Structure 1
Amino acid sequence: MELTEELALRALANVKIEPRKFATIYVYRSSNDIFKALVVTILTQNTNDRNALRAFENLVRLVGDVTPDRLVDIDEDTLANAIRPAGMHRIRARKIIELSKVILEKYGGDLSRIKDLPLDEAKKVLLELPGVGEKTADVILVNLGKSTFPVDTHITRISMRLGIAKSRNYREIQRAWMNILTPDPGRYLEVHLKLIQFGRDVCTARNPRCSVCGFKEVCNYYINNVKDKA
């Protein structure tokens, strides 16, 4: 049986999304500010959203309004200490200071122009910024209502187990989901978030809860490793 959008939506129907468990969407919806969303997304790299949000909130307490002009001249050690909960705090501090400098120099401290750019142009702007890779750019873009599908470690694991991707290649997995789903930014964001939460709660890295999984009938992992042993 093939994985369809209908089956995916049914399997994810009971997954509840709490914005505070997703740092980027929480910060962006609270502030409507692309720079703040970008900073917290950089803080999520190689850590979880809870730690990233703690680090971002420490940063808010330190500087008040998180803006490029407030961060560009901040002492690196002070910034690193504030964002310590996210891990790799010294590397991230340098990235955030460099990011602030570039945004001030190239865009006058305001990234709002990318909201009105076509997807490819907006992504190009983001990818040229320090500390911004493909996933970080896509996370920002989908939150801006652009038609892209970010892929994280949970989505990669789920995709490999389902068999809709043959490798961990970011773009292969992205294309697989975008081919399955209705081409709509709202649908992409919804499924992106629900898959992450599903990966946290059900399709976990160790001991996945296959007995309560709605993807069982199309999941290679379940069919090949669990079904006959259940």
Structure 2
Amino acid sequence: MAGGASISERVDGKTVFRILSRSLRVDWRDYVVLVADRLDGNPFAVLAAIILSQNTSSRSSIRAYHSLRMLLGRVTPEAVLSVPEEKLGEAIRAAGLWRQKARALREAARRILEAGGERVLMEMPPEKLREFLLSIPGVGKKTADVFLSFKRRAPVFAVDTHALRIAKRWGLVGEKAGYDEASRALLEFFGPERSEEAHRLLIALGRQYCRARGPRCSECPLRGYCPYPRRAGGEARAGG
């Protein structure tokens, strides 16, 4: 690890989880997965929301999801395949990369129906389901793991840009670490029983404090434990 420092040398994941849970505001209306689950609840709707969230902001993906619901009524595989791809893309334009995402939604819908319908998303063993999801063009590791963690409560840790940045700043992984290494490290640090909620807390932490540029280290609820300001040369230099 950079500088040989890791947050795990100062505090355990259970304590960090408790501090973040107490300090950060997590509103379901700010997370497209929670929006989809609250409004529709069916597994395909949640998967569709995760696909929409790829490489865009939560605000944009939520706008796209509401637009998709206006088009389809209910977000199901059958409904997605009932409209032309171009029309589907127009509905989700707010999410960006709308042509690719429209294709991914239709391909996911087609394969899920061929495999037996939405029930396979809830009945297939998590390991097999991950392989199945990753076989769908447009579905990557983060998309698969967010679904598995949120909808199936599987012992995986989904890693987005916030989680990867924080794992590096915490010294849990090295600066060159990729998805798999960060996912394993965060799962081990927090424990599988907390991984799904910890994923959302890291997103909130990354948005509010541990930002890519100008991190607010001096205000961070973990300022007494995080090694990043010390490695970066002090809180003032780290943006605190």
Shared topology, TM-score over 0.5? Answer: yes
Instruction: Read off the aligned partner of 1:44 and give its amino acid letter.
Output: S
Alignment of 1:59-78 (within 5 A): 59-78=68-87
CA gap of 1:228–1:212, structure 2 versus 1, over 3 A, is: closer
Alignment pair present for 1:203 and 2:215: no
What is the identity, as a one-letter code, of the residue corresponding to 1:105?
A: E
Deviation at 1:214, TM superposition (A): 2.9
* Residue 7 of structure 1, CA deviation: 3.7
Match of 1:157 in 2: 165
Alpha-carbon separation, structure 2, partners of 1:204 and 1:37: 27
Question: Does structure 1 conserve the Cα–Cα contact (< 8 Å) formed by 2:30 and 2:58?
Answer: yes
SS of the residue 2:23 aligns to: coil
> Match of 1:90?
99
Once residues 5 and 11 of structure 1 are traced to their aligned partners in structure 2, the CA distance between those partners, rounded to angstroms, is 10
Q: Distance in 2 between matches of 1:57 and 1:183?
A: 31
Q: Which residue of 2 aligns with 1:131?
A: 138
How far apart, CA to CA, are the structure 2 residues paired with 1:224 and 1:176? 20
**TM-score, normalised relative to structure 1:** 0.90
- 39-48 or 66-75, larger mean C-alpha shift: 66-75
Could you list the per-position Cα deviations for residues 12-64 of structure 1 after superposition, in whole angstroms to 9, with x for gaps in the alignment?
12111101111112212432211111111101000012111111111111121
Aligned to 2:25: 16
Q: Distance in 1 between matches of 2:149 and 2:83?
A: 30
CA deviation string 1:164-206 (max 9, x = no partner):
111331111111111112331xx11111111101100000111
Counterpart selection for 2:154 from 133, 146, 153: 146
Distance in 2, matches of 1:54 and 1:228, equals 36
Output the CA distance in 2 between the equivalents of 1:168 and 1:50: 28
Whether the 8 Å CA contact 2:40–2:74 is kept in 1: the answer is: no
- Matches of 2:195 and 2:43 in 1, distance apart? 19
**Alignment partner, residue 100 of structure 1:** 109
What fraction of aligned residue pairs are identical, expressed as a percent? 35
Instruction: Work out whether residues 21 and 49 of structure 1, in 8 Å CA contact, stay in contact via their aligned partners in 2.
Output: yes
Greater mean alpha carbon deviation, residues 125-134 or residues 52-61: 125-134
Query: What does residue 55 of structure 1 align with?
Result: 64
Q: Which has the higher contact order (CA 8 A, sep 6+)?
A: 2
The alignment yields a C-alpha RMSD, in angstroms, of 1.9
Q: Following the alignment from structure 2 to structure 1, what is the Cα–Cα distance between the partners of residues 191 and 79?
A: 41
Task: Specify the alignment match of 2:37 in structure 1.
Answer: 28
Q: Which runs of 5+ in 2 are unaligned?
A: 1-8
Distance 1:51 1:2, change over 3 A: same
Moved more, 120-129 or 42-51: 120-129
Match of 2:12 in 1: 4
Partner of 2:128: 121
Contact 1:17-1:197 at 8 Å conserved across structures: yes
1:219 to 223, 226, 234: 226
Contact kept, 8 Å, 1:7 with 1:215, in 2: the verdict is no
Q: Contact 1:10–1:214 (CA<8 Å) still a contact in 2?
A: no
